[in-house]
Structures are given as C-alpha cells and as structure tokens.
Amino acid sequence: MTKRLVLIACFLVMVLAPAAGAGQPPRPQQQDEFVPVSELPPQEQLPSPPLVITAYAFAWLAIGGYVLSLARRLTVVQHELERLEADTRRGR
C-alpha cells in the first residue's frame, strides 16, 4: 500500500509540476545584469502558487503514507503480542 501511495504521489508531481510552467512563453534573449522581480513583465514572473501547492501536496501525501505504514506495522505487533500473551497463559 505504501508503494502505491508513493507511486500516486510521484505521478501527481509529474503531472502537476509541468502544468505550472506551461503558461510561460520562452525567453527571447538572456540578460546580463540584475533586474528586480518587481520590474519584470508579468509573463516572465514565476507563478509560485501552483508550485507551492504541489510541494505541500507531495509532502502531506508522503507524511500520510508514512503514518499509515507505521499504523499497519504497530497493528501487526499488537496482534503478535496478544497472541504471545494468550500462549503464555495457556502454558502455565
């Protein structure tokens, strides 16, 4: 299940990340000096909201997958402990 979540998260990043920069036209020429962002034309500014949303979505999916993995493993350990306690009670 964890591998499945990681694959889904990777797929979402691969699909959403290129879409964030799809609306930008190619630059006609390179500039040699510094230009503040406030002076750039709107078409040359990097749209940060889609990139931030994609990063946060990936992080939360990774954290959620990790927590689900831990929960499953702890459940298995709990069942094993209960089985061992029952076995030791029967053995006495």
Q: What percent of the chain has pLDDT over 90?
A: 42
Q: Among 5-9, 16-20, 26-30, 31-35, which range has the highest average pLDDT?
A: 5-9
75 pLDDT more than 90:
yes
* Residue of higher predicted confidence among 7 and 84: 84
- Do residues 20 and 48 make contact, with C-beta atoms less than 8 angstroms apart? no
Q: If we measure between CA atoms, which residue out of 61, 77, 56 comes closest to residue 3? A: 61
* Residue of higher predicted confidence among 46 and 83: 83
